[in-house]
C-alpha cells in the first residue's frame, strides 16, 4: 500500500522493453590487452576543456596527469595506460556530428605500467575539503552520463549543508547492465565510496535507489550496507526514466526540485553508483579515473560484454573484442537506446560518459514512417516533466520557437519517452533538440548584432564628439579672432583718439 | 551502414495509427453484429454502403489534396464510416449513408486538413447534419425483426427497402424509447404509464428495442468500451465522466419527480449514451489532451446530453452534446495543462524548502 502510494509520485514514463538479458549474467571483464592506440579527448566533462601539460614524444605512465583542469568547472585527464604521446591534435569527437575535438593520442607500450601511487592510510582522517580536492585531482566526473565534475558537486553539497546523499542505481536505460554488475560485484567498494562522499560533504544519510528489476544488485548492496545505519537501499519501480535525477528524488524523498534550481537547494545531492566506485578507487588506491565499465550489446554483437575499458580505447577495438558484425550493424549508439547518441562510425574513443556501446541491427531500431498526429495524447501522458510534446512540436514545426519555450521547451530533458510511445512515429525529441540548438544560435546571432550595434553606436558617438569638439574649437577660434579684432579696433580707435588729442 | 543523424530514442514501441483504429473497430464488432442481426438485410445494405462510400470519399480527398493515398490503410476512414453507420436508423435509404459519409469525410475531416486536424468528430457532424436536413428519414426507426425471422425482409426485400424505400412504413417502424417518452410527455402523459409495455429492463440492456443500427445494445457497447480500456486505447476519464454526469443528474431529478424524469437506468440503457461515452467522446482528435481536461470535457458532455434529452426539442442529445464540447476542446486545452515538474500551475518555479 505504502509502495503503491509512493508510486503515485512518479509521473509519466514508459515501460521500455528492457533487452538486458544479453549481458545481465555476464561478470565484468577486466583482463584484455590494452589497445595499441588510445585517443583521449581533452573535454570529457561539462565545463572547460582541460589544458595539456605533456607534449608529443613524452613517455607517460598509467595514471599520469596529461592535462590539468581549467577554471572552476572542469576536470583533468590522465593517461589510461603507459606509452608514448604520439599526437596532440583534433580528432572526431564521440558525438553524432563527429566534429573535431582536441585529443591526446598515446601509443601504448603494452606494459600498462602504473605511475607511483601513494594512498593515504585513512581517508576518513582527511579534512572534507581534502576529499573533494582529491576527487577533483583524480578527474572524476558524473559517470551516469551527465559528466558534471564530481568534486564541484561535493563542494556544493558541503556549502549547502545537505541532509541526504542519494545514490542513483536506477540504470533505467534498456540494454545497459554496467551499473547492475558493478553493484553486484563491487558493492563493498561502492558503499565505501558513498561513505567517503558523505564525509566529503559532511552529510549523514545516504540512500541508494535501485530499480526492482535488479534483485541481485539490491541484495548485494543491502548486504554491503548492513554495517552502516545511515546508508539504506531503496527499491524503486522499474519505469523509464526512473534514473532521471529529479524523478528519483521525488520518488525517494517526496520532494520536488524547483525549476531553475539545483538539488542542493532542497538539501539533496545525487551521485551515480559508478561515481561512488571511482571515488573509492581514487581515495583508497590513489588511482585517477582512467577506465570505466561499459556494456557492449545489441544484436549485431556476437559476444556481448560488460567490460572495464581504458578511457580512449576506440569503439572499433571494443567491437573486434566483442565480435561485432559490421554488416548487420544498422546503427551504433553510445549510451542507452533512449538518450544515447547515434555515432556515424566506430573510430571514436570511449570517454568517461560512455556507459554503453550498442551495435543495433535494423530490427532493433524503429524505422517506421512518420504518420499524421492523431492527438492521442500518449506523449503527454508519457512525459515525466509534464510537458505537452505534441503542442511543442507543432509550434516548432511552424517556427514559433519562442512560443515553444513559453510552454516549457527548456524544461524538456530529452528523455525520449514521447517519441518512444508515439503511434505516428513522430520524432518529437528531434524537434526539441533542433529547436534548442536553433535558439542558441539565434541568441548568439542576436548577441553578435547587439555587439555590432553597440560598437557602431559608440563609433558614431565618438565621431559626433569629434565633430562637436571641432565646432567648439572653430567657435572658440572665431570668438578669439573677434575678440582680437575688437581689441585691435579699440586700440586703433584709442590711438586715433590719442593722435587727435 | 546507413548514417542517419537522428536523435534518440533509437528504439520505440511498435504501435501504429492503423493498429489503434483496428482495435476500435474490433471493439465495435459485437454491437454492430448484434444490430445487423436485429434489423436484417436493409441494415446490412446500409452498413456496407456507408463504409464503402466513406473509404471512397477518403481516397478521392487524398487524391485531390495530392497526399499519399497509401494512408488510406490507416483505417481511419473505415472507422469514421463505421461509427456513422452505427448511429443511423437501420432501415434508412441508401443515399443517407452516402451523403452522411460524404459530409463526415469531406466536410468533417478533409476540409480541416485531414487526419488529426478536424475540430469536430466527423461521424457526429455527419449524423447531426443528416438529422437536421432529413428529419423524417433520420427518425424512422425500424421494428426489431431479427434476420431470418418470419417477419424479417429477405435479401431481395432488403434491397427494395434500401434502394426503393418503405411502402408501408407504419407496419415496420415505430418510435424509439426516448422518442416515445418525449411525445408522451408533451401530451402530458406521465412516465410510469407511458413506459408500460414499451420499456423492459433486461431486453433494453441487451438491445432488443428500436434504435440506431449499432446503438441499441448498451451491454455489447460497454463490452467493447471495456476492451478499449483494457488495451489502453482509451483512458477511463471521458467515459467515466460522461456516464457519471448523466447518472447523477438523472438520479437526482428522477428522485425528485419520477413521473416526469426518466430513471438513470433508462438513460444509461437506451439511446446513444454508451456508444458516445466510449467511442465518440473519446475520439483523440477532438477531445482534450490532459487527464483533468478530459474529465471536464466528459462531465460537460454528460450534462449536455441530460439537458437536451430532458428539456430539449430532440429526444436524443449525444450528437449535439459531443459537437458542442468539441468546439470547447481548444479552450479546455488552453486553460487546463499538466503541471510542469518543479513549477506551479502558472509555470513559475516552486518555492524551495529545505
Name residue, grid cell 603494452: A110
The tens digit of pLDDT for each residue in A349-392 reads: 999 999 999 999 988 886 678 888 999 999 999 999 999 999 99
Closest C-alpha among B152, B127, B313 to residue B215: B127
CB contact under 8 A, A423 and B17: yes
The tens digit of pLDDT for each residue in A458-468 reads: 999 999 999 99
For the packed helices B122-133 and B94-102, what is the interaxial angle rounded to 10 degrees?
130
For the packed helices A178-185 and A215-225, what is the interaxial angle rounded to 10 degrees?
40
Closest C-alpha among B78, B80, B83 to residue B32: B83
A 418-437 near B (Cβ less than 8 A): 419-425, 427, 429-430, 433
Omega before residue B276 within 30° of 0, cis: no
CB contact under 8 A, B347 and A408: yes
Closest C-alpha among A201, A210, A215 to residue A248: A210
A377 touches chain B (CB under 8 A): yes
CA distance B177 to B211: 8
3-state secondary structure of B125: helix
**Rg of the Cα trace of chain A?**
31
A383 touches chain B (CB under 8 A): yes
Chain A residues with CB inside 8 Å of B337's CB?
A: 388, 407
Omega before residue A132 within 30° of 0, cis: no
Q: Nearest CA to CA, how far is A343 from chain B (Å)?
A: 8
Q: Tell me the pLDDT band of B2, cut-offs 50, 70 and 90.
A: very low
CA distance B129 to B139: 13
CB contact under 8 A, B4 and A331: yes
Closest C-alpha among B66, B163, B52, B31 to residue B105: B52
Mean pLDDT of chain B: 90
Closest C-alpha among A68, A78, A73, A69 to residue A40: A78
User: What number of CA atoms fall less than 13 Å from residue A50's CA on the CB side?
Assistant: 28
Number of neighbours of residue A2 by Cβ within 10 angstroms: 6
A342 touches chain B (CB under 8 A): yes
Closest C-alpha among B178, B126, B118, B173 to residue B306: B178
CB contact under 8 A, B9 and A341: no
CA distance A14 to A238: 9
Closest C-alpha among A376, A198, A402 to residue A283: A198
Position B103 pLDDT exceeds 90: yes
Q: Retrieve residue B110's grid coordinates.
A: 478533409
The tens digit of pLDDT for each residue in B157-169 reads: 888 888 888 777 7
Best interface-test mutation with B: which of A99, A256, A357, A375 has the largest number of B CBs within 10 A?
A375
Q: Which residue of A has its CA nearest to B116?
A: A374
Compute the CA torsion angle A430, A435, A441, A445 (nearest 10 deg): 150
CB contact under 8 A, B341 and A386: yes
For the packed helices A428-500 and A389-397, what is the interaxial angle rounded to 10 degrees?
50
Position B1 pLDDT exceeds 60: no
Q: Nearest CA to CA, how far is A136 from chain B (Å)?
A: 27
For the packed helices B122-133 and B318-335, what is the interaxial angle rounded to 10 degrees?
140
3-state secondary structure of A234: strand
Q: Nearest CA to CA, how far is A25 from chain B (Å)?
A: 23
* B242-248 mean pLDDT: 96
Residue with the larger pLDDT of the pair A218 and B186: A218
A 437-476 near B (Cβ less than 8 A): none
Q: Where are the alpha helices (DSSP H) in chain B?
A: 17-64, 76-87, 94-102, 122-133, 135-138, 155-164, 169-172, 177-186, 191-195, 201-206, 218-231, 237-256, 264-269, 273-275, 291-311, 318-335
CA distance A347 to A324: 14
The tens digit of pLDDT for each residue in A256-267 reads: 999 888 898 899
CB contact under 8 A, A423 and B337: no
| H or E segment to which residue A152 belongs | helix A150-159
Q: Retrieve residue B158's grid coordinates.
A: 432488403
pLDDT beneath 70: ranges in chain A: 1-3, 366-367, 499-501
CB contact under 8 A, B1 and A330: yes
Chain B residues with CB inside 8 Å of A421's CB?
A: 12-13, 15
* B2-11 mean pLDDT: 71
For residue A338, CA distances in Å to A14, A91, A239, A247, A326 come to 11, 26, 13, 16, 22
CA distance B44 to B35: 9
Q: Under a CB-based contact definition with an 8 Å cutoff, are residues A181 and A300 in contact?
A: no
Best interface-test mutation with A: which of B12, B116, B236, B349 has the largest number of A CBs within 10 A?
B12
Chain A residues with CB inside 8 Å of B15's CB?
A: 421, 423
Q: Under a CB-based contact definition with an 8 Å cutoff, are residues A224 and A191 in contact?
A: yes
Q: Which residue of A has its CA nearest to B282?
A: A376
The fraction of chain B above a pLDDT of 90, given in percent, is 58
CA distance A45 to A443: 24
Write the residue in B5, B13, B117 that is nearest to A421 by C-beta.
Answer: B13
For the packed helices A150-159 and A187-201, what is the interaxial angle rounded to 10 degrees?
50
Give me the interface pTM, i.e. the ipTM. Answer: 0.87
Q: Which residue of A has its CA nearest to B330?
A: A391
Closest C-alpha among A359, A316, A292, A288 to residue A144: A292
3-state secondary structure of B41: helix
Chain B residues with CB inside 8 Å of A348's CB?
A: none
CB contact under 8 A, A261 and B352: yes
Chain A residues with CB inside 8 Å of B9's CB?
A: 337-339, 416, 419-420, 429
A 93-152 near B (Cβ less than 8 A): 96-97
Chain B residues with CB inside 8 Å of A375's CB?
A: 116, 284-285, 289
CB contact under 8 A, B9 and A267: no
CB contact under 8 A, B341 and A246: yes
- Read out DSSP for B216-231? S-HHHHHHHHHHHHHH
pTM (2 d.p.): 0.87
A335: left (phi over 0), alpha (psi -120 to 50) or beta: left
Chain A residues with CB inside 8 Å of B343's CB?
A: 258-259, 411
Would you state the pLDDT for residue A74? 92
Q: Retrieve residue B315's grid coordinates.
A: 429526444
Can you name the residues that pair with B66 across neighbouring β-strands?
Answer: none
CA distance A380 to A223: 40
Q: Nearest CA to CA, how far is A56 from chain B (Å)?
A: 34
Chain A residues with CB inside 8 Å of B2's CB?
A: 330
3-state secondary structure of A305: strand
Please say whether the dihedral angle defined by the alpha carbons of residues B149, B154, B160 and B163, taken in this order, is positive or negative.
positive
Best interface-test mutation with A: which of B16, B68, B333, B341 has the largest number of A CBs within 10 A?
B341
Q: Retrieve residue A53's grid coordinates.
A: 601539460
Amino acid at each position: 500500500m505504502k509502495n503503491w502510494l509512493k508510486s503515485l509520485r512518479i509521473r509519466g514514463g514508459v515501460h521500455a522493453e528492457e533487452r538486458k538479458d544479453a549481458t545481465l549474467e555476464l561478470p565484468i571483464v577486466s583482463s584484455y590487452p590494452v589497445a595499441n592506440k588510445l585517443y583521449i579527448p581533452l573535454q570529457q566533462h561539462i565545463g572547460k576543456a582541460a589544458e595539456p601539460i605533456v607534449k608529443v614524444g613524452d613517455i607517460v605512465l598509467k595514471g599520469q596527469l596529461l592535462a590539468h583542469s581549467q577554471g572552476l568547472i572542469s576536470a583533468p585527464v590522465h593517461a589510461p595506460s603507459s606509452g608514448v604521446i604520439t599526437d596532440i591534435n583534433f580528432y572526431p569527437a564521440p558525438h553524432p556530428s563527429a566534429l573535431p575535438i582536441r585529443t591526446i593520442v598515446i601509443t601504448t607500450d603494452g606494459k600498462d605500467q602504473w605511475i607511483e601511487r601513494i594512498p593515504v592510510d585513512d581517508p576518513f582522517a582527511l579534512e572534507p575539503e581534502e576529499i573533494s580536492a582529491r576527487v577533483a585531482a583524480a578527474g572524476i566526473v558524473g559517470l551516469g552520463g551527465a559528466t558534471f565534475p564530481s568534486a564541484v558537486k561535493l563542494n556544493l553539497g558541503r556549502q549547502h549543508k545537505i541532509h541526504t546523499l542519494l545514490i542513483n542505481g536506477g540504470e533505467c536505460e534498456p540494454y545497459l547492465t554496467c551499473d547492475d554488475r558493478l553493484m553486484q560485484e563491487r558493492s563493498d567498494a561502492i558503499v565505501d565510496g558513498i561513505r567517503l562522499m558523505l564525509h566529503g560533504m559532511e552529510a549523514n544519510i545516504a540512500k541508494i535507489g535501485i530499480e526492482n528489476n535488479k534483485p541481485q544488485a539490491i541484495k548485494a548492496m543491502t548486504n554491503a550496507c548492513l554495517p552502516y545505519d545511515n546508508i539504506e537501499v531503496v527499491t524503486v519501480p522499474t519505469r523509464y526514466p526512473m534514473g532521471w535525477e529529479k524523478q528519483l528524488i521525488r520518488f525517494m524523498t517526496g520532494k520536488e526540485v524547483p525549476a531553475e534550481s539545483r538539488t542542493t537547494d532542497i538539501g539533496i545531492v545525487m551521485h551515480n553508483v559508478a561515481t561512488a566506485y571511482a571515488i573509492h578507487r581514487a581515495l583508497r588506491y590513489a588511482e585517477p579515473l582512467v577506465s570505466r565499465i561499459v556494456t557492449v550489446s545489441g544484436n549485431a554483437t556476437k559476444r556481448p560484454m560488460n567490460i572495464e575499458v581504458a578511457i580512449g580505447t576506440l569503439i572499433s577495438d571494443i567491437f573486434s573484442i566483442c565480435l561485432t558484425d559490421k554488416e548487420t550493424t544498422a546503427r551504433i549508439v553510445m549510451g542507452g537506446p533512449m538518450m544515447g547518441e547515434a555515432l556515424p562510425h566506430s573510430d571514436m574513443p570511449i570517454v568517461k560518459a560512455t556507459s554503453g556501446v550498442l551495435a543495433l541491427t535494423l530490427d532493433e531500431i524503429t524505422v517506421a514512417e512518420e504518420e499524421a498526429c492523431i492527438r492521442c495524447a500518449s506523449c503527454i501522458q508519457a512525459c515525466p516533466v509534464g510537458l505537452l510534446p505534441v503542442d511543442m512540436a507543432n509550434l516548432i514545426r511552424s517556427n514559433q520557437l519562442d512560443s515553444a519555450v513559453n510552454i516549457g521547451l527548456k524544461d524538456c530533458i530529452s528523455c525520449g519517452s514521447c517519441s518512444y510511445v508515439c503511434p505516428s512515429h513522430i520524432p518529437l525529441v528531434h524537434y526539441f533538440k533542433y529547436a534548442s540548438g536553433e535558439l542558441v544560435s539565434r541568441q548568439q546571432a542576436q548577441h553578435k548584432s547587439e555587439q555590432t550595434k553597440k560598437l557602431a553606436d559608440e563609433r558614431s558617438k565618438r565621431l559626433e564628439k569629434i565633430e562637436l569638439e571641432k565646432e567648439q574649437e572653430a567657435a572658440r577660434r572665431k570668438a578669439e579672432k573677434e575678440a582680437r579684432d575688437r581689441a585691435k579696433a579699440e586700440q586703433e580707435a584709442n590711438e586715433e583718439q590719442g593722435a587727435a588729442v | 551502414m546507413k548514417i542517419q543523424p537522428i536523435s534518440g530514442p533509437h528504439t520505440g514501441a511498435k504501435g501504429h495509427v492503423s493498429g489503434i483504429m483496428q482495435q476500435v473497430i474490433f471493439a465495435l464488432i459485437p454491437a454492430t453484429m448484434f444490430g445487423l442481426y436485429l434489423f436484417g438485410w436493409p441494415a446490412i445494405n446500409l452498413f456496407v454502403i456507408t463504409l464503402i462510400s466513406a473509404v471512397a470519399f477518403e481516397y478521392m480527398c487524398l487524391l485531390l489534396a495530392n497526399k499519399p493515398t497509401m494512408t488510406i490503410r490507416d483505417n481511419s476512414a473505415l472507422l469514421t464510416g463505421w461509427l456513422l453507420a452505427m448511429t443511423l436508423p437501420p432501415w434508412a435509404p441508401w443515399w443517407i449513408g452516402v451523403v452522411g459519409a460524404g459530409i463526415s469525410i469531406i466536410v468533417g475531416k478533409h476540409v480541416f486538413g485531414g487526419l488529426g486536424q478536424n475540430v469536430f468528430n466527423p461521424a457526429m457532424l455527419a449524423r447531426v447534419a443528416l438529422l437536421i436536413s432529413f428529419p423524417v428519414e433520420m427518425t424512422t426507426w425500424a421494428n426489431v425483426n431479427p434476420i431470418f425471422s418470419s417477419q424479417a425482409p429477405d435479401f431481395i426485400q432488403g434491397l427494395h427497402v434500401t434502394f426503393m424505400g418503405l411502402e408501408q412504413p407504419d407496419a415496420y417502424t415505430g418510435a424509439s424509447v426516448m422518442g416515445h417518452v418525449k411525445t408522451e410527455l408533451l401530451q402530458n402523459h406521465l412516465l410510469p404509464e407511458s413506459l408500460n409495455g414499451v420499456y423492459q429492463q433486461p431486453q433494453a440492456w441487451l438491445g432488443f428495442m428500436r434504435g440506431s443500427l449499432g446503438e441499441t445494445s448498451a451491454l455489447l457497447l460497454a463490452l467493447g468500451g471495456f476492451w478499449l480500456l483494457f488495451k489502453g486505447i482509451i483512458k477511463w476519464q471521458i467515459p467515466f465522466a460522461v456516464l457519471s454526469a448523466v447518472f447523477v443528474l438523472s438520479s437526482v431529478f428522477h428522485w425528485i419527480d419520477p413521473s416526469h424524469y426518466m430513471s438513470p437506468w433508462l438513460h444509461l440503457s437506451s439511446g446513444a449514451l454508451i456508444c458516445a461515452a466510449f467511442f465518440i467522446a473519446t475520439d483523440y482528435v477532438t477531445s482534450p489532451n490532459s487527464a483533468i481536461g478530459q474529465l471536464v470535457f466528459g462531465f460537460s458532455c454528460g450534462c449536455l446530453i441530460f439537458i437536451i434529452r430532458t428539456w430539449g426539442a430532440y429526444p436524443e442529445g449525444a450528437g449535439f452534446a459531443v459537437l458542442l464540447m468539441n468546439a470547447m476542446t481548444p479552450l479546455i486545452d488552453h486553460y487546463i495543462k499538466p503541471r510542469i515538474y518543479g513549477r506551479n500551475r502558472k509555470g513559475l518555479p516552486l518555492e524551495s524548502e529545505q
